[in-house]
Chains A and B, each alone.
Chain A
């Protein structure tokens, strides 16, 4: 365990100090990076944060999401998200325990924004990025409703999705870095 303390200690060193060390090392480097315009950044930037920063405009409900899910997701994740050739996406909305060690969305995932982010960047595997923002909100709403976390009729958009509180929000202990 001593090494974990050592790493944690290294990590709390203020950033400014680390920068200074890097410069002090006296490494001469060419400056070959070219400036990135705000427009270009907007195209590159696909980060979505847990507090909702980065979520795009758009909206959707579980009802619309169910249709998309059946067409584009159920073949791998099961008719109702129970899992198939790929992972289960639906569990009870109860935090995990040794008796119920499920790591599916309802029991394990700390943030609802993560569903939107992951589906938008990675799913379905044959055509990631093919769902529109509305479709992604809808399928996210479907998965949240199927996990009994939001009501069937709830509309998900940048604001409401970020406001969803997942049952296991406080279920994690940071190990190699302090909060």
Chain B
């Protein structure tokens, strides 16, 4: 592969062998990628059969019948959510999106991360209602069937749990696949009714400034949200990636609050209480607040700050020797569009700008790519996102200096993967 390159194409733009981001377009290169642990597994699992790739058996017989609802190939069965954190009640915990197994910017609905506090309710949409009451002229009740008749809009949006990546606060770098560390974030096309339409129909009182949103799970999860944000761009989400919202993501209705903490995107939405003060619920006081070194805690930290990480190469994958590789990753910001992602192969001493793949959308995953000539020596890979407000993803020591280590939520520091000479990849603090 490298033989097809003109020597000037291989001039590094940053240390450690980072090449110009347009290299692969220019040279039409086929780049090597780090082999995933799972594809290694797959090779080991299926010892070579007598199949001849030039004349395999399946080109000589009728294939499988049609299916009402398709599923991934049987060879992709290992690509699943990583379920963790379940404690005594079986419904309390999380499942992580396997970010390192996916490409592009859309998370398949069945792999969208989950955080439930008391299980997934089995809601009958014919029984479910959304009510709006409180400081409104007309308290209203909506059936799901009626909501489906309203004008809708679609947006590609990430949703990230406020507790995502919290292992980053640990003293020792956690050794896990990228998704099982950072995968409490997913991105989907959400379609629904602008909430402003429903609030206007109810007639919001000028004295109102907050809305308490409540879900229909066991536990009636509730959070307080500023009315201005809900009027601005929130949606009553009915569809996820073109089909009705999945049960574990809020069927039949999920509140969609672009760019804000996952917990504010209330699943199984059933009630909006328009009011003049936050309710100070458990999930906005005891949880989803961040204790600072001063002893004070940050509260109502709604916006998910800009973040990025390299999904390939990443821990659990393996390099196949010195070659040209494509560094691939994801970046997102709750404040708007990603304007720049830089990558480093020398632990942050020098940086090269990565190619941002179109489309780049506000409050949505952005896929970045960067060609890298790995010389087979130890390297430290990092990515650093900047968003359109000028906010730059911080280094870990900077974040910890500002926030201390007891905040738990909102960890968005630069992530560093160490590539070893033998091609293994691990998580390091550097």
| B204 and A15 contacting across the interface, CB-CB below 8 Å | yes
Within 8 Å of chain A (Cβ to Cβ): is B149?
Answer: yes
| B295 and A95 contacting across the interface, CB-CB below 8 Å | yes
| B204 and A19 contacting across the interface, CB-CB below 8 Å | yes
Residue count of chain A within 8 Å CB distance of chain B: 66
CB-defined contacts of B91 to chain A, threshold 8 Å: 125
In the complex, chain A residues 106-158 whose Cβ is within 8 Å of any chain B Cβ: 108-111, 113-114, 117-118, 121-122, 125-126, 128
CB-defined contacts of B194 to chain A, threshold 8 Å: 22, 27
In the complex, chain A residues 1-58 whose Cβ is within 8 Å of any chain B Cβ: 1-4, 6-7, 10-13, 15-16, 18-19, 22-23, 27-36, 40-41, 44-51
CB-defined contacts of B404 to chain A, threshold 8 Å: 98
Within 8 Å of chain B (Cβ to Cβ): is A78?
Answer: no
Point out the residue from B89, B133, B229 that lies within 8 Å of A44, measured CB to CB: B133
CB-defined contacts of A71 to chain B, threshold 8 Å: none
CB-defined contacts of A50 to chain B, threshold 8 Å: 277-280
CB-defined contacts of A109 to chain B, threshold 8 Å: 285-286
Within 8 Å of chain A (Cβ to Cβ): is B235?
Answer: no
Known: A2-B389, A98-B293, A173-B299. A13 touches B282 (CB 8 A): no
CB-defined contacts of A128 to chain B, threshold 8 Å: 118, 218-220
Nearest B-chain residue to A49, judged by Cβ: B279
Point out the residue from A31, A46, A85 that lies within 8 Å of B201, measured CB to CB: A31
Point out which of A12, A96, A113 has the most chain B C-beta atoms below 10 A from its C-beta. Answer: A96
CB-defined contacts of A32 to chain B, threshold 8 Å: 142, 146-147, 149-150
Residues 105-149 of B, flagged 1 when their CB comes within 8 A of A and 0 if not, give 000000000000110000000000001110000111110001101
CB distance from A62 to the nearest CB of B (A): 20
Nearest B-chain residue to A117, judged by Cβ: B281
Total A-B pairs in contact (CB under 8 Å)? 210
CB distance from B18 to the nearest CB of A (A): 28
Query: What's the Cα separation between A98 and B294 when bound, in Å?
Result: 8
CB distance from A6 to the nearest CB of B (A): 6
Point out which of B146, B277, B280 has the most chain A C-beta atoms below 10 A from its C-beta. Answer: B280
Query: What's the Cα separation between A29 and B198 when bound, in Å?
Result: 9
Known: A22-B231, A33-B202, A44-B271. A175 touches B151 (CB 8 A): no
Nearest B-chain residue to A38, judged by Cβ: B139
| B150 and A174 contacting across the interface, CB-CB below 8 Å | no
| B277 and A49 contacting across the interface, CB-CB below 8 Å | yes
| A173 and B286 contacting across the interface, CB-CB below 8 Å | no
CB-defined contacts of B221 to chain A, threshold 8 Å: 122
In the complex, chain B residues 151-165 whose Cβ is within 8 Å of any chain A Cβ: 151
Partner-binding segment picked from B206-214, B322-330, B342-350: B206-214
CB-defined contacts of A98 to chain B, threshold 8 Å: 293, 295, 404, 406
Within 8 Å of chain A (Cβ to Cβ): is B175?
Answer: no
CB-defined contacts of B292 to chain A, threshold 8 Å: 173
| A173 and B273 contacting across the interface, CB-CB below 8 Å | no
| B285 and A41 contacting across the interface, CB-CB below 8 Å | no
| A176 and B295 contacting across the interface, CB-CB below 8 Å | no
CB-defined contacts of B214 to chain A, threshold 8 Å: 46-47
Known: A110-B285, A172-B299. A10 touches B232 (CB 8 A): yes
CB-defined contacts of A110 to chain B, threshold 8 Å: 280, 285
Point out the residue from A11, A45, A172 that lies within 8 Å of B229, measured CB to CB: A11
Within 8 Å of chain B (Cβ to Cβ): is A80?
Answer: no
CB distance from B150 to the nearest CB of A (A): 5
CB distance from A8 to the nearest CB of B (A): 10
Within 8 Å of chain A (Cβ to Cβ): is B197?
Answer: yes
Known: A45-B273, A97-B295, A175-B300. A103 touches B286 (CB 8 A): yes
| A49 and B291 contacting across the interface, CB-CB below 8 Å | no
Within 8 Å of chain A (Cβ to Cβ): is B390?
Answer: yes
Within 8 Å of chain B (Cβ to Cβ): is A177?
Answer: yes
Nearest A-chain residue to B145, judged by Cβ: A32
CB distance from B412 to the nearest CB of A (A): 12
| B285 and A33 contacting across the interface, CB-CB below 8 Å | no
Point out the residue from A7, A105, A122 that lies within 8 Å of B303, measured CB to CB: A7
CB distance from A71 to the nearest CB of B (A): 16
Q: Apart from A18-B228, A29-B151, what are 10 other A-B pairs with CB-CB below 8 Å?
A: A10-B232, A33-B201, A34-B141, A36-B139, A47-B275, A114-B285, A125-B88, A172-B285, A173-B297, A173-B298
Residues of chain A touching chain B, judged by Cβ–Cβ distance below 8 Å, are 1-4, 6-7, 10-13, 15-16, 18-19, 22-23, 27-36, 40-41, 44-51, 76, 85-86, 95-98, 101, 103, 105, 108-111, 113-114, 117-118, 121-122, 125-126, 128, 171-177
CB pairs A–B below 8 angstroms (10 shown): A2-B391, A19-B200, A32-B146, A32-B149, A36-B133, A49-B279, A50-B280, A51-B277, A76-B88, A98-B293
Instruction: Name the 5 nearest CB pairs between A and B, nearest first.
Output: A33-B140, A122-B219, A125-B89, A3-B389, A3-B335
